[in-house]
Amino acid sequence: MFMVKQKLLPSLHQSLYFFFVLINFKFQKTAKNLNLRCSKILRL
């Protein structure tokens, strides 16, 4: 049981980290798009 936990924990941590990175990347992309839209609106 303990061995299974030890093997499962790192993969869970990796998946959580990957999920966080993915959300961060998507958020940065949307932030850039919003900034572009705002600058376009300000120019008009």
Q: What is the reported pLDDT for 3? A: 65
| Alpha carbon 31 to its chain's center | 13
> What's the rounded Cα separation, in Å, for the pair 14 and 21?
10
List, for residues 1-39, the tens digit of each pLDDT value. 566 666 767 788 888 888 999 898 988 999 898 888 888
Q: What is the reported pLDDT for 6? A: 67
Q: What is the reported pLDDT for 5? A: 67
Q: What is the 3-state secondary structure (H, E, C) of 2-31?
A: HHHHHHHHHHHHHHHHHHHHHHHHHHHHHH
The model carries a pTM of 0.51
> What's the rounded Cα separation, in Å, for the pair 13 and 15?
6
Buried-state track 4-19, b at ≥16 Cβ within 10 A, e below 16: eeeeeeeeeeeeeeee
